[in-house]
A and B are shown apart, each in its own frame.
Chain A
Amino acid sequence: MVAVASAVVLAFVVMQAAQPAAPTHVREVTLALPHALRPGETVWLLVEVGAIGHDQVRLTTQDGRLLGSLSAYGAGSGQAGGTYTVPVPAEDLGDARLVVRVAVMRAGVAQRAPTTEEVKSLRLVVR
C-alpha cells in the first residue's frame, strides 16, 4: 500500500544511492514523500550537519538545480553544527521523490562528497 493521506510530517530516508550515474564528488540521497504535494503545502529538507567549520554544504537536485548552500556562522556554531531547514520548490519534486546531491565546498579545494560525520542525515518534512 503506497498511499498515505498525510498532509503533515512523514519523513522517510533512503540512505543509499538510487541512481546509477551519481558523480563521485557528491553524495546522492533519494528521499520519498508519502504523497504527491497538495495545494498550499510546502516541502522542507532537514539537513543535519556536523562540525564543518567554515566549509559549506551545497545541495542540488539530480539535474543540478540549487536547493541551498549551508554554512555555519561564527566559530562556536561552526564547531557544533546543526540542522538546517531548506525549502524545496514543488517543481523539484517528481513522483513524490526528491533526489538530492550533497557536496562539501571549501575555498581552494575541489568539491567532494561529505562524510557521514559532516552530513549526518537528510529528511523531508511536509507542512
Chain B
Amino acid sequence: MSTAPGTTRRTFLKTSLATAGTVALSRRFALAQAPAKYRRYNVTSPGGQKALASYAEAVKIMLKLPADHPHNWFRNAFVHLMDCPHGNWWFYVWHRGYVGLFEETVRKLSGDPTFAFPYWDWSVLPQIPDAMFDGVLTPTDAAFEPFTKDIDTFTAYIQPSLKKYWDGLNHDQRGQLDNRGYKSFELMWNEVTGFNPKLDPPRVDPENMAFAKTSGARYLSRSNPKLDADVTFNCSAKVVYPGLLPTSFFDPITEISFNSSKTSSHNTPPPDRTVFSTLEGQPHNSTHNYIGGVGNIPGGPYGNMTNNLSPVDPLFFLHHSNMDRLWDVWTRKQQVLGLPYLPEEADFKSWGSEPFLFFVNAEGEQVGASYAKDYISTSRFQYDYEPGFGEAVIKRPKRLLSAAQMAPVKGVLKGNSATMMLSAGAIKNHLADDADSPLIALVTLPRPTEASPNRDFDVLVGAPESVTDAGPESPYYAGTVAFFGGMMHMPGMSEDATFLVPLPKKAQAFKGLGAGSGSVAVSIRVVPSGGGRSVLKAATVRAL
C-alpha cells in the first residue's frame, strides 16, 4: 500500500477510515476495504498451525517480561479486566481493537512477519484444538507456575507494578473505571481475588475469583477436550446461523439485533436491562464458562476463561478471533443485502466516538484515546479470514432494497384514530407480492382491566368511519392483537401495551394511492373484536 508523500501511515489510516465511516452510513455501498496483508486461518489448517507456533514463541517471551512491562502476558490480560465491554453494542468493536493490537504485538515479538491469530471455529470443531494443550498455549503449563502457583504468588508478582500503573492513569481513564465500579484500586483488585465486601460477613466468593492457579487454570484437558452437549448445541448451526440473521446492527423495538444492548458507554450497564445478542449470549458466554469449569466445578474457583482475566488463557484470542470472524461474516451479509451494518445515522456518532483508553500497541506504548469507529473495518489491521462456518448466510437477494425504504412515521391522533402520511412508493413496495420492505404498524392501546369484557382487538387500516368491526376477509383488516393470561397488572408494568402488526396487503386500505400524489393519508384504528369504538392511543408506521 502506498501513501501520499508527507502522509504518515497513521494519518493515512485515519483519513481512509474516516472516509470509510462516511460511506458506511449508506445502505448501498460496501465498506472501503484495503487488500488484506494478513490472513487469519482456521486453527486446524496448515496456516493456522504455523501461526500457533509463532504465537507460542511470543507467549514465552511475554511471560518472561517484567511485570511492569506493557507487553507482559498478565498485564495484557488486565486491559481486558479493566475495560472489556460485555452485553452492550461495543462488544464486537472493542474486542476487534484489543485482539488486533495484540496481534501486532505478537507479530513483532514472535519475529513472524506473517503472523495473524488463527480462529477456533467451534461450530465445526466443538472441542479445544489439540495444539492448544501444547506448552505455553495452555495456562496449566509449568511456565506459568512461577507467576500463578497461587494467589499469594500472583499478588506479590503483579500487584506492585499494577498499582503503580493505576496511580499513573489519567482523569479520563479513571472516569471510565469509576463507571465500571472500580472507584479504587482495591475495588478493582477484589475482582482478582473474588473478595466481596458486600457479603455478610465480607469474604471471598470463589466463583467470582478472576485469578486461577496454574493447576486449575483450565477445566478442559487434552484427555477431556470436548465441549459438552449443551455448549456444543449453543455453538452449532442451530444457534449460530440464526444469530447471523438479524438485519439490524441494533434494533431497540424488536430486540432482535446483531449487537447487544445500547448503553451510554462501554463501561456502563443499560438503564433498564441488558439484552444479549444471540451470538454473544450463547456461544460466546457458554464457551468461556465451560472451559473454565462452570457446570462441573461446584462452587468454583474456575479456570481463567470464566472470568475477566480470561486472556491469561491463550485460547481466549482464538475464541475471540472466531467471534470477530462472525461479525465480519454478518457485515458482508448486510453489504450483499444492501442493508446497514452500522448503527443508524442518529446513533452512529455516539457509538463511533466512544473512546477506548487502555489499549497498548506493538511498540509497548499506550495507544491513548482511540475510538470505536477506528475499529469498524478489519482494514485497520489489514487482515481477512480464511472462510469458515457461517459463510452460507451471505447470499445475494433477488433485488436490493429500493428507495421505498422509509423512516418511521408517527400518526396524528384524533378521537382514538391515527392518521399519517405515507410515501406512495413505500406503499407500492409493501403491496408487491415479494415486498422486501413490508410496512408494519406499532399500535399502542391500554391494557384491559380485570372487569373489561374485551381481550381481543382488531387493527383496522384505511377503514371508513362506518366500519367498526372487520375480520380477515375485510381489506381493512391488519390483524388481531390479544391479551393472554390474567389482567392483573404486575409491579412496574406499563398501563399500555404496544404491538407490531403488518399493514394489509390490499390496495383498498390505501384509497389515496391511485391519485398520483407522492404521499398518501392512511388512518389506523384499533377496535374490540366484535365491534366497538377505537381504543388506540398511539400509532407509528415503519418499514421492516
* Contact yes or no, B273 A83, CB < 8 A: yes
Q: How far is A121 from B245 in the complex, measured between Cα atoms in Å?
A: 24
* Contact yes or no, B286 A71, CB < 8 A: yes
* Contact yes or no, B471 A1, CB < 8 A: yes
* Contact yes or no, B230 A58, CB < 8 A: yes
* Contact yes or no, A3 B480, CB < 8 A: yes
B281 neighbours in A (Cβ, 8 Å): 70, 82, 84-85
In the assembled complex, B239 has its CB within 8 A of some CB on chain A: yes
In the assembled complex, B229 has its CB within 8 A of some CB on chain A: yes
* Contact yes or no, A125 B256, CB < 8 A: yes
A81 neighbours in B (Cβ, 8 Å): 273-274
In the assembled complex, B481 has its CB within 8 A of some CB on chain A: yes
How many B residues face the partner with a CB closer than 8 A? 74
In the assembled complex, A54 has its CB within 8 A of some CB on chain B: yes
- Given A1-B529, A56-B294, A127-B254, A76 and B274 touching (CB < 8 A)? no
Q: How far is A87 from B246 in the complex, measured between Cα atoms in Å?
A: 11
* Contact yes or no, A82 B276, CB < 8 A: yes
Question: Which of A10, A16, A58, A107 touches B500 (beta carbons < 8 Å)?
Answer: A10
In the assembled complex, A66 has its CB within 8 A of some CB on chain B: yes
- 1/0 per position for A87-127, CB-CB distance to B under 8 A? 10100000000000000011111000000000000000101
- Given A5-B477, A73-B285, A108-B298, A48 and B307 touching (CB < 8 A)? no
* Contact yes or no, A12 B482, CB < 8 A: yes
A53 neighbours in B (Cβ, 8 Å): 207-208
In the assembled complex, B86 has its CB within 8 A of some CB on chain A: yes
- 1/0 per position for A18-55, CB-CB distance to B under 8 A? 00000000000000101000000010101010000110
Q: How large is the interface on A (under 10, 10 to 19, 20 to 34, 35 or more residues)?
A: 35 or more
A77 neighbours in B (Cβ, 8 Å): 86-87, 274
**Residue among B281, B293, B483, B544 with most chain A CB within 10 A:** B281
B274 neighbours in A (Cβ, 8 Å): 77, 80-83
- Given A82-B273, A83-B275, A87-B238, A1 and B480 touching (CB < 8 A)? yes
B246 neighbours in A (Cβ, 8 Å): 127
Closest approach, in angstroms, between the C-beta of B189 and any C-beta of chain A?
13
* Contact yes or no, A9 B254, CB < 8 A: yes
Q: How far is A71 from B278 in the complex, measured between Cα atoms in Å?
A: 12
Question: Which of A56, A71, A87, A107 touches B298 (beta carbons < 8 Å)?
Answer: A107
* Contact yes or no, A5 B282, CB < 8 A: no
Known A4-B479, A13-B484; 11 more pairs at CB < 8 Å: A6-B500, A8-B502, A10-B481, A66-B230, A68-B233, A69-B230, A69-B234, A71-B289, A85-B256, A86-B278, A125-B255
A interface residue numbers (CB < 8 A to B): 1-10, 12-16, 32, 34, 42, 44, 46, 48, 53-54, 56, 58, 66, 68-78, 80-87, 89, 105-109, 125, 127
B interface residue numbers (CB < 8 A to A): 84, 86-87, 180-181, 191, 194, 207-208, 210, 229-231, 233-234, 238-239, 242-243, 245-246, 253-256, 261, 269, 273-278, 281-282, 284-286, 288-289, 293-300, 302, 306-308, 438, 440, 456, 458, 471-472, 477-485, 499-502, 504, 529, 544
Identify 28 residue pairs between A and B in the complex whose beta-carbon atoms are under 8 Å apart, listed by A's number.
A1-B480, A4-B479, A5-B502, A6-B500, A7-B438, A8-B254, A8-B500, A8-B501, A10-B500, A13-B484, A14-B485, A15-B485, A32-B484, A42-B242, A46-B255, A54-B294, A58-B230, A68-B233, A70-B285, A75-B208, A76-B191, A82-B273, A82-B276, A83-B274, A85-B255, A86-B239, A87-B238, A106-B295
